[in-house]
Amino acid sequence: MRPVITAEDVRSVAHNTEFEVSSDALITPLAQEEAERRGITFRVIAKNAGDNRGISSGAAGNQGSLEKSARVVAIGADHGGFELKELLKSHLRDWGYRVLDLGTTGTEAVDYPDFAEAVGKAVALGEVQLGIVLDSAGIGSSIAANKVPGVRAALCYDRATARNSREHNDANVLTLGAKLTSPEAAREIAAVWLSTPFAGGRHQRRVDKIRSIEERARQS
């Protein structure tokens, strides 16, 4: 998978210095702008064939060769999120993912729960490990996706919430509000979300409790 350099990565580098990036790195537009602002230049280095760093599949403890499902991201949107969905599909492919597009196919009015459920089921059934759903605000899709057993959908609106949802909550579906998030910001959020692994540790106990709530609801 191609590594993604975001604006937050650039901010971790001192002003007026060089930032070493591998030859296959994808530098986001916001990262380029931040580098110019800070007087930072990117120096391209040859990629080490043994270096497997880059966008992670997001599965906790996933090492070595990636499972087939980890190479695919399911994506869906209603009419409000259709245009941003199409843009994100292009970025996903650039980052080395295959895309499972579950609709919609145009801007004619449709109902967001249908697409949130479709993406959620693809994740829950193991067809993919991660999914993205878009509607105008992102709220409804998050609510709907979370009704699918096994889904932990997170509505994210910046890089911090994207990272937190993966590190702490092991979120497996990202929802975005297409009318509230610029294309550039959505691209950065998706890049961070996809590249952040679950931290495990104390967070595993809490995610297990989320699963227990779900299991008790099934049995009631």
| Cα gap 127→68, rounded to integer Å | 9
In this predicted structure, what is the pLDDT of residue 29?
66
What is the full per-residue pLDDT of the chain (220 aa) written as tens digits? Answer: 567 788 878 888 888 899 998 887 777 767 888 888 889 998 888 765 444 433 333 333 333 333 455 689 999 999 999 999 999 999 999 898 999 999 999 999 999 999 999 999 999 998 999 999 999 999 999 999 999 999 999 999 999 999 999 999 999 999 999 999 999 999 999 999 999 999 999 999 999 999 999 999 988 8
Three-class DSSP category at 16: coil
Say how many residues make up the chain. Answer: 220
Q: What is the pTM of this model?
A: 0.75
Kindly state the helix (H) or strand (E) to which residue 162 belongs, with its residue range: helix 159-167
Catalytic residue among 79, 91, 168, 203: 168
Q: Is 168 a catalytic residue?
A: yes
The residues of the chain that CATH labels 3.40.1400.10 are: 68-202
Q: Parallel, antiparallel, or unpaired: how do β-strands 41-45 and 98-101 relate? A: unpaired
Q: Which residues of 78-114 are buried (b: 16+ CB within 10 A; e: fewer)?
A: bbbbbebbeebbebbeebebebbbbbbeeeeebebbe
| 3-class SS of residue 55 | coil
* Burial of 217 from C-beta contacts in 10 A (0-12 / 13-18 / 19+): exposed
Instruction: Give Cα separations from 56 to 3, 92, 197, 213 (angstroms).
Output: 9, 13, 7, 28
User: Selecting from 3.30.413.10, 3.40.1410.10, 3.40.1400.10, 3.30.930.10, what CATH number does the domain 68-202 have?
Assistant: 3.40.1400.10
Q: What are phi and psi of 26, to 5 degrees?
A: -105, 115
